[in-house]
A and B are shown apart, each in its own frame.
Chain A
Amino acid sequence: MKLRNVLNTKTPKSPLQKKGSSSIRIRNSKWLSFPYILWMIGFIIIPILVILYYGLTNTDTSLTLDNVLAILDPINLRSLRLALGLSWKSTVICLLLAYPLAMILSKAKNKSNFIVMIIILPMWMNFLLRTIAWQNLLERTGVINTVLKFFNLPMLNIINTPNAIILGMVYNFLPFMVLPIYNVLIKIDKDIVNAARDLGANGIQTFLKIIFPLSLPGVISGITMAFVPSLTTFVISNILGGSKITLIGNVIEQEFRVGNWHVGSGLSLVLMIFILISMAIVSKFDKESEGNSLW
């Protein structure tokens, strides 16, 4: 449904379409979504069904819940708790950093495109390389500590700790938080803000009662975009955490690596429940905002 809206607004209308009924346009747009549907079936739906199959069966193909219940193993529970804690912290930090930045961007009319560009620029480089680069920066003999040592300043000892993992998460997922908030903020009608000021609201009141509530859809989709990848990551915890902190993503990766697809899939299903919950929250806000959403 969302796709149709987008296509309708973006497809330039030919004279013929102007005269014709709207049903022609809808039929055309449906046809255009065909490759997307194929893609979705091949690379999203079938893989999920495969995970479901593996997650709910045993090596001898009998149905079982054991793989899902493997999450109750104290070690796996500990990893899940750790992952939830770290990804929650990093999401909050992302939000606190991203919101003011998005506000500044939405006001800086001429320069905003350039700044958005700078935020997106690092994403042109591979995620893994950037994380390894952080390792080189943070190590005891790394760039930052070499500089600190030169000026006789105390050393920074955060590599291989949970804080380094949070740093990695914030760094990698911050753009996903900034962009949706920025996109919502620039679409807020200036007249509404002016009306609020006109009716006597001060800056703080305008922000709390007008701007922030109107930007909520962007905030919510930003939170999911940052929370979900943080929750499931195993690369960041390996590289910046020195494998000393085992997150649920590491457990799943390990299960797949040793060839135990059944337990790996079962644990992935548990993780999917958390992701579905956050998606449900987003779609609730989506409805309230009447298609003002972005992602």
Chain B
Amino acid sequence: MKNFIGMIALLIMVALLTACGSKDGEKVYVLNWGDYIDPDVIDLFEKETGIKVVYDDFQQNEEMYPKIQAGAINYDVVCPSDYMIQKMIENDLLQEINFDNIPNFKYIDSVHLESAEEFDPGNKYSVPYTWGTLGILYNKTKVEGPVDSWDILFDEKYAGEILMIDSVRDAFAIALVSLGYDLNSTNEAELEEAKALLKKQYPLVQAYVVDQVRDKMIGEEAAVGVIYSGEAIFTQRENPDLEYVVPKEGSNVWIDGWVIPKNSKNKENAEAFINFLCDPKIALMNFEFITYSTPNYGAWELIEDQDVKNSPVAFPPNEIIERCTAFKYLGEDMERNYMHKWNEAKGK
């Protein structure tokens, strides 16, 4: 009832789409991040199982959420991040996965299942797909000495040479952690302090970016940037002067996992799809395509390139993972509070 008018408008717009979705063979509706799967994998899946994949992508967790909530298209399998999975579980949007249909689940490394318990206790609703850390990417030729601390992002020496991340939770995680607080903090005084730090950083920042950090760092637009570990591997391949580090104060470790929404109409197809992605050979194909670390132990064993297999960026030692924390969903009011403070910080 709440979204009644919105639903009418959406119905008009998706009328054609749903008309096309009438029954002709088995289908699975997939909603995934942009560029987050090897397109060949989809072809292989269709050939092997005869299930047709209807594929859509999204750019932000926050953009994906209302799509699932409104349910205009009944997606069968979606790939949100950790804190968003928790939000979806809390708001009763997901259904438990039947792991009998996913025998390949055994290849997922238990270390990552443990981190996933933070947002999905008991690992009932999600299957980890990719994971990584948030860290600093710096250009060795433009920065003095090895970087090991978030402090460089607040150092006036590098004014105009800093690319800050344009994402509320990540930006606050950096500020909170460098002040010595928990990155899931809901303490008003700590958040105000973090906001003040970010506001002080504003004049030093060249630009606030998300995906563009890759191209800008490769093109040597800036000396330091904030980046996810998976992107870092790609940038290092393009420009060997770039170095990635997870600062000593700690950072965020994130996991993106496959979940099945409650309004899914092809649950078994969804499970077949997840099982297929957990196959070590397929997981390896995806790892090589997206370059984000895979939690699939079987795929890691198959990696031939020893440099990649032993890369501290792609597969960091446990001591680095241990100083990182996953995001938690903090509730709607706290999310607004973060957003408001972020907007205040991003201005003169």
Contact = CB atoms under 8 A, between A and B. Distances in A.
B343 A75 contact: yes
B122 interface: no
A75 B9 contact: no
Interface residues of A, number: 28
B207 to A, nearest CB: 3
Given A61-B1, A139-B219, A141-B220, A246 B346 contact: yes
Contact of A242 (B6, B12, B62, B206): B206
Given A78-B347, A257-B62, A61 B207 contact: no
Interface in B173-189: none
Contact of B343 (A47, A59, A246): A246
A148 B221 CA distance: 16
B9 A242 contact: no
A75 B1 contact: no
B19 interface: no
B221 A53 contact: no
B61 to A, nearest CB: 9
B155 interface: no
Interface string B199-218: 00010011111000000100
Nearest to A74: B344
B207 A259 contact: no
B5 A49 contact: yes
Given A257-B62, A258-B335, A259-B62, A242 B5 contact: no
A258 B339 contact: yes
Interface in B27-79: 60, 62-63, 65-66, 69
A246 B69 CA distance: 29
A196 B67 CA distance: 64
Interface in B311-348: 335-336, 339-340, 343-344, 346-347
Interface in A188-216: none
B249 interface: no
A242 B65 contact: no
Interface in A214-259: 242-244, 246, 251, 254, 257-259
A140 B60 contact: no
Contacts of B207: 159-160, 242-244
B21 to A, nearest CB: 21
A261 B220 contact: no
B209 to A, nearest CB: 7
B2 interface: yes
A258 B221 CA distance: 30
Interface of B: 1-2, 5-6, 8-9, 12, 60, 62-63, 65-66, 69, 166, 202, 205-209, 216, 219-221, 335-336, 339-340, 343-344, 346-347
26 contacts: A46-B8, A46-B9, A46-B12, A50-B6, A53-B5, A54-B5, A75-B343, A78-B347, A139-B219, A140-B221, A141-B220, A159-B207, A160-B206, A160-B207, A242-B206, A242-B207, A243-B207, A243-B209, A244-B346, A246-B343, A246-B347, A251-B343, A257-B63, A258-B339, A259-B69, A261-B66
Given A50-B6, A141-B220, 5 more contacts: A46-B12, A54-B5, A139-B219, A141-B219, A246-B343
**Closest 4 A-B residue pairs measured CB to CB?**
A242-B207, A243-B208, A258-B62, A259-B66
